[in-house]
Amino acid sequence: MLLTTPTVRDLERLTARVLENSTRTAGARIDAYRHDANFFIDIDLPGYDAASIDITVEGKVLTIRAERKCAAGADVQYVIAERPVGFSRDVQLADLLDTDRLEARYDQGVLTLSIPVVDERQPRKAEVAAAR
């Protein structure tokens, strides 16, 4: 058990917040890369259940949300609670990604999204039909 006074505890919390905000990115860490005809996004989500992960695409904005259930239960009183219970991240996508064919896989705490890259759209001619 940790023994501290309220003043020390408040100072530790303030210090942790300052350091956390200055060294961490918002949310989970991601890698984004292209390989052949696919664009990949890897997101670290350790400890989340795959069923709690929600992925939506609206326009060209990809949103990933996840929730982690409290393992200790509701009747406990935390002394320290630093692990996030929820996650949300928006990612702006390029126009050349086919989000209708997005695939997601969750393995060993890493969510991997695969999005096919479409060929650059070329100008297309339209045929004009004559009236009968």
Q: Is residue 26 part of a domain?
A: yes
The predicted pLDDT at position 23 comes to 41
Length of the chain: 132
Residue 128 resides in a domain:
no
Give the torsion sign (CA, 59, 100, 126, 123). positive
Continuous segment of H or E residues that includes residue 30: strand 30-35
Domain assignment of residue 53, given as a range: 6-116
Give the pLDDT confidence of 103-131 residue by residue, as tens digits: 999 999 999 999 999 876 667 788 888 88
Q: What's the total number of domains in the chain?
A: 1
Task: Please write the tens of the pLDDT for every residue from 40-85.
Answer: 999 999 888 999 999 999 998 999 999 887 766 677 887 887 777 8
